[in-house]
């Protein structure tokens, strides 16, 4: 089996999956078994005064068991234009359909390209001929084209963790044609959902005159590109084991004792405008207003982990959350009952399953989300004999798979309030039946399935396309 080389903005030690979660868990097996390499940014920003020069960065190498972790520092200038500017100030909002929040500063795109070239230059000498390279997420869309420009002929695949919007939204990005051309330099492009894959096909057909060769394969920019939907999953066994481990159990019992007289609702998110946090709070408030019997009996615990706090859209969101929580507690709270407990902090990963399991309802109501792993973690953590109910936004990628959840439109405050009320009242038999269906899906399409099916398709994509000219940006 070929060595797997993973490239992503941030790198995690695959031996410490319990702390890292997410990508590290999904990739740990394949990286460990192939003695892989994981390449990305070190997280360190070198100030100009300390010698940090644009387009340059020191490389660090660290052996983590069989896996080699290689990271590179970024200069202040590169960090600000590549990471804060183009990746999180342009691509993140636009890909989440928020043109109103994008900052189309003309200088950012130069920094974005410079860092992708820096990554390509530092990675290329480390590559072996039969490596398979798997690049992750919006920070690194042009990386394949930059590697090709240096002569790399290995198979290169790309997975987009966030949504891809429809062509007319994408086309608002100055330089979108350059960006999408770069995306087509990969041998295989993976998306979270059929909807995102549809937007990709529609974009290249309308904007770049692509011709579909067969399902999921197009001739475009003088080569053939293959794309597919590979919905990311979690390691269900790892997560249920965490729920049964001492820390998970202790957390569960603490929550159950503390809230023995209430039905708990839980939300767990990064603080991000895509997650629909204020909309969720307004829907919960609407439910308290419309169904007075839920007052004193329902408590919402919203755990929100700090994220990108140096970006202004995020500071505004934090203020909005604090004032909404304060207003709900002020208007509806009693001496012995607070409707909302808002915790702006990270919770240690081993504790999460206990919190999920103690909650009768999970509110996963993003305005737009590539997939949303919290939805899947909540299902995995439930007691099958007495499971809770998932209220899920139809705009999360997960909604394509999790049909037995209560699907809501988070922009519709009244409708969402009604669904939350229904979830709180749902009889045991219906909860069990829905949970069985959901569990079956997350087991079938778990993190291992995601990894294996993508790498399998990437292996086949290259074999069929030998001789295709590489795309240069």
Cα–Cα nearest to 461, from 181, 156, 201, 193: 156
Q: CA-CA distance, 278 to 412, in Å (whole number)? A: 12
- In the complex, minimum distance from the CB of residue 175 to ligand ADQ, in angstroms, rounded to a whole number: 23
Which helix or strand (DSSP H or E) is residue 247 part of? Answer: helix 246-258
Tokens of 363: 């509110």
Q: CA-CA distance, 400 to 318, in Å (whole number)? A: 30
Whether 191 contacts 160, CB under 8 Å: yes
Q: CA-CA distance, 60 to 294, in Å (whole number)? A: 55
- Footprint of ligand ADQ on 113-132 (CB under 6 A): none
Selected binder of ligand ADQ within 78, 235, 269, 286 (CB under 6 A): 269
Q: Count of residues binding ligand ADQ (CB under 6 A)? A: 21
Q: CA-CA distance, 190 to 454, in Å (whole number)? A: 7
- Footprint of ligand ADQ on 184-243 (CB under 6 A): 232
Q: Residue 162, interface with ligand ADQ (CB under 6 A)?
A: yes
Residue 161: active-site member = yes
Residues 6+ apart with CB under 8 A from 263: 297, 298, 299, 360, 361, 424
Q: Residue 373, interface with ligand ADQ (CB under 6 A)?
A: yes
Q: CA-CA distance, 78 to 370, in Å (whole number)? A: 26
Selected binder of ligand ADQ within 21, 52, 167, 387 (CB under 6 A): 21
Write each residue from 421 to 440 as x if it is in contact with ligand ADQ (CB under 6 A), else as -, in one continuous string. --------------------
CB atoms within 10 A of CB 129: 8
Q: Residue 352, interface with ligand ADQ (CB under 6 A)?
A: yes
Residue closer to ligand ADQ, measured from CB, 71 or 365: 365
- In the complex, minimum distance from the CB of residue 287 to ligand ADQ, in angstroms, rounded to a whole number: 23
In the set 136, 161, 279, 435, the catalytic residue is 161
Candidate ranges 123-131, 244-252, 299-307, 408-416; the one touching ligand ADQ (CB under 6 A): 299-307
Selected binder of ligand ADQ within 126, 195, 241, 347 (CB under 6 A): 347
Angle at 198 between CA 197 and CA 201, to 5 degrees: 90
Q: Residue 377, interface with ligand ADQ (CB under 6 A)?
A: yes
Contact positions vs ligand ADQ (CB under 6 A) = 21-22, 161-162, 232, 268-270, 303-305, 346-347, 352, 369-374, 377
Task: Give me the active site residues, please.
Answer: 161, 369
């Amino acid at each position: 089996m070929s060595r797997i080389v993973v490239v992503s903005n941030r790198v995690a030690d695959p031996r410490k999956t319990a702390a890292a979660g997410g990508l590290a868990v999904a990739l740990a097996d394949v990286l460990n078994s192939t003695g892989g390499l994981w390449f990305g940014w070190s997280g360190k920003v070198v100030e100009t005064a300390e010698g940090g020069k644009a387009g340059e960065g020191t490389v660090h190498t660290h052996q983590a068991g069989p896996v080699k972790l290689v990271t590179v520092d970024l200069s202040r200038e590169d960090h600000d234009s590549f990471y804060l500017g183009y990746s999180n100030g342009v691509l993140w909002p636009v890909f989440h359909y928020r043109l109103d929040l994008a900052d189309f500063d003309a200088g950012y795109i130069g920094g974005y390209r410079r860092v992708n070239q820096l990554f390509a230059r530092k990675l290329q000498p480390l590559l072996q001929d039969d490596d398979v390279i798997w690049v992750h997420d919006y920070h690194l869309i042009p990386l394949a084209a930059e590697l090709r420009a240096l002569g790399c002929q290995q198979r290169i695949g790309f997975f987009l963790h966030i949504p891809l919007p429809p062509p007319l939204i994408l086309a608002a990005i100055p330089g979108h044609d350059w960006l999408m051309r770069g995306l087509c330099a990969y041998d295989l492009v993976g998306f979270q959902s059929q909807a995102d894959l549809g937007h990709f096909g529609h974009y290249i057909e309308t904007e770049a005159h692509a011709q579909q060769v067969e399902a999921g394969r197009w001739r475009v920019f003088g080569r053939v590109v293959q794309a597919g939907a590979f919905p990311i999953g979690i390691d269900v066994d790892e997560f249920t084991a965490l729920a049964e481990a001492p820390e998970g159990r202790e957390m569960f019992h603490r929550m159950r004792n503390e809230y023995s007289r209430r039905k708990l609702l839980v939300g767990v998110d990064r603080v991000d405008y895509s997650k629909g946090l204020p909309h969720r709070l307004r829907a919960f408030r609407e439910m308290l207003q419309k169904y007075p019997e839920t007052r004193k009996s329902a408590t919402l615990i919203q755990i929100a982990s700090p994220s990108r706090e140096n970006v202004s859209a995020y500071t505004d969101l934090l203020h909005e959350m604090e004032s909404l929580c304060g207003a709900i507690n002020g208007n509806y709270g009693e001496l012995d009952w607070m409707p909302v407990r808002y915790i702006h902090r990270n919770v240690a990963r081993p504790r999460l399953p206990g919190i999920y399991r103690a909650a009768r309802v999970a509110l996963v109501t993003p305005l737009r989300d590539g997939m949303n792993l919290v939805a899947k973690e909540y299902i995995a953590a439930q007691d099958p004999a007495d499971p809770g109910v998932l209220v899920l936004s139809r705009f999360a990628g997960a909604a394509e798979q999790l049909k037995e959840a209560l699907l809501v439109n988070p922009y519709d405050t009244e409708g969402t309030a009604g669904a939350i009320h229904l979830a709180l009242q749902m009889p045991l038999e219906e909860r069990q039946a829905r949970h069985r269906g959901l569990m079956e899906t997350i087991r079938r399409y778990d993190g291992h399935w995601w990894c294996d099916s993508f790498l399998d398709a990437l292996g086949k994509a290259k074999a069929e396309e030998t001789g295709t000219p590489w795309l240069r940006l």
